[in-house]
Chain A
């Protein structure tokens, strides 16, 4: 064969060097890439170190911060408690802190797949959640009552995200089952709900919950703003969870359900004992990834006037004493907090993916 049908202009085979020179400087282009990357990194490092440490103010007042060109650390120390807990009564702020720590402990323990089971679910439902509610709201055991209107900051963000997911998960599974149901009317209702919720932005559902939900309530019934936002987040999350679970359900071979029916099991037993366990296992990693998104999306409640973590950080920056001085500091602090939690959950999602890949079959 002398003539290739599609011949490129002839080129000699690339030179093969070995070791690190090839990795970093294999071709002229590669060398250029390495140099540009190094230059970028050095520039960023110089700017960051200069701003964070060299030109920064570590102690002092807003005035000393204003004079210096670097970061303003006193802002963080002065405003830390407000940013974390919002308007929660100052002397009671150990309670949201304890609730956060308890929650982190529980969440950390629940991360091990070997612990998953009924006992863990019961522990959350009957021990952890009541304890968290008592810590936050009070009113019993000599703890002063704190209404939800005073809740704020990081505990609120976590609460919206986790309660949202905990309630949306069963709803989403139900929606997914309805969506692939053999009954056309139920399927259509589910499809309609899922597609409408997924087709509109979260902010519109939040608006609906804040503006329209009160209109739908009979006389004398009022629901707090926090609850309304929570309902909106649950509705939103359920539709997205339903689509992910549906993917898992469709991945389970049809023969599984048929074998179950052949054994004489009814629809619910087949689903509960055979299909759902396999489907859920498949979709746990994407569900965790989805949850990272929800955690970040809870920031939207600041638009409808709830005092979540992003909102407390912003109002700390708007404090007349610090106005216009600590803009970068505030946002970077908030970004760092969101980054740490999101990145941790992302790492956990990747761990689960590996874990299930090895334990399956």
Chain B
């Protein structure tokens, strides 16, 4: 009976046991669920996706009308989720970097102010903030007829933000191509000028040339008449604002809340990254005569970036998942649209499976993009 004490056989036995247990559990849950569903007369399968949705979505990032299919409605939810997460990550990162650097300032007042900003955001639940901003917009901002004018043709009221919108008569293709071409050329010019500067040690006008090159193609398109812009100006009426781009209060509250929460996390990541860069780097830069701000920009931050990428990845994954709190204030993100679909069709299993799969898939996608960036900034060991 020596085989009973053999670690190899034991390992196989435990693994078979684990797989069998999981399989049995899954099977029994599935069997009970299908029996229960059959009893409640709820259909199964994904056929309902092509049925007509029949409900209104208050805000859609892609075209949608109630006569579209359920699948299309879910797609609108996905688009809305992606839109708000991307914008929140973008704004949050910009603000977070500023706050994080301010947190490292030698001015004690600024340092403490930034610290309290971070602490206030990190110690109160995000959901509470979202509800708070939403309540603030609805209750404290004036109604439409006395909307605040916060810029030419920009109106803020308790039914949201109205901005001038523009459309291009000649289509988007030419201007966009010109923009991309300009940016590509500018990037090339900058590389050449940087290499020349490293070789000769002399400051050159590369930055200005790059700037000029960047706008040149766009200017050419404009002069050729390919950039005719039509503005859609919002008009303040007595009961509603018509025209322009209308941003609903749910979206404003969600974006604001998510961006603030991202900014606090990013600020802490930036601080940790800066602190992790050795003191010798500051001293060496100072010995070379670099002022503090340039040391930060040219010596410390590039090194800190490397350390910041993995936690930043986590932050972006978190904001993307946290955007699901939208359901609490009524922004039609993926979870909220799914919830409506569940209530209408009763097909909870399939709908939950879909939105979990979407979240998982997008999480993996974000991880991949950030890993690619991580490899770019990582220390090249030769």
Contact = CB atoms under 8 A, between A and B. Distances in A.
Interface of A: 3-9, 11, 13-14, 23-24, 26, 30, 33-34, 37-38, 40-41, 182-186, 189, 195-196, 199-204, 207-208, 211-212, 214-219, 292, 296-297, 299-300, 302-303, 310, 314, 324, 327-328, 331, 334-335, 338-339, 342-343, 346
B363 A199 contact: yes
B127 A299 contact: yes
Nearest to B363: A199
A23 B111 CA distance: 12
B349 A212 contact: yes
B228 interface: no
Contacts of A342: 122-124
B289 A8 contact: yes
B120 A339 contact: yes
Nearest to B292: A14
A24 B22 contact: no
A286 B124 CA distance: 18
B198 A5 contact: yes
A9 B123 CA distance: 45
B321 A196 contact: no
Given A203-B324, A339-B120, 10 more contacts: A37-B110, A37-B113, A38-B109, A41-B113, A199-B359, A215-B349, A216-B32, A218-B32, A331-B128, A338-B125
Given A182-B11, A211-B348, A339-B120, A216 B29 contact: yes
A320 B342 CA distance: 31
B246 to A, nearest CB: 24
A184 B289 contact: no
Interface string B80-114: 00000000000000000000000001111110010
A201 B14 contact: no
A335 B201 contact: no
16 contacts: A13-B289, A30-B106, A199-B359, A199-B364, A201-B322, A201-B324, A201-B359, A204-B352, A216-B32, A297-B125, A310-B127, A324-B139, A327-B135, A334-B128, A343-B123, A346-B119
B11 A183 contact: yes
Contacts of B328: 302-303
A296 B126 CA distance: 8
A200 B355 CA distance: 9
A189 B129 CA distance: 37
Interface of B: 11, 14-16, 18-19, 22, 29, 32-33, 36-37, 105-110, 113, 119-120, 122-129, 131-132, 135-136, 139-140, 197-198, 201-203, 288-292, 294, 317, 321-322, 324-325, 327-328, 335, 339, 342, 348-349, 352, 355-356, 359-360, 363-364
B201 A6 contact: yes
Contact of B18 (A185, A201, A303): A185
Contacts of A292: 123
A81 B35 CA distance: 45
Nearest to B109: A37
B360 A196 contact: yes
Nearest to B298: A8
- Secondary structure call for the A interface: helix
B347 to A, nearest CB: 10
A26 B106 CA distance: 10
Most A CB within 10 A of own CB, among B123, B203, B342: B123
Given A184-B15, A343-B119, A6 B125 contact: no
Contact of A300 (B325, B349, B356): B325
Contacts of B126: 296
Contact of A7 (B29, B120, B201): B201
Contacts of A33: 105, 107, 109-110
The 4 closest A-B pairs by CB, nearest first: A185-B15, A342-B123, A296-B125, A201-B321
A196 B357 CA distance: 9
A3 B200 CA distance: 10
B43 to A, nearest CB: 14
A11 B289 CA distance: 8
A202 B107 CA distance: 40
A189 B360 contact: no
A36 B36 CA distance: 65
A66 B105 CA distance: 43
A27 B33 CA distance: 70
Given A41-B113, A342-B123, A203 B327 contact: yes
B109 A24 contact: yes
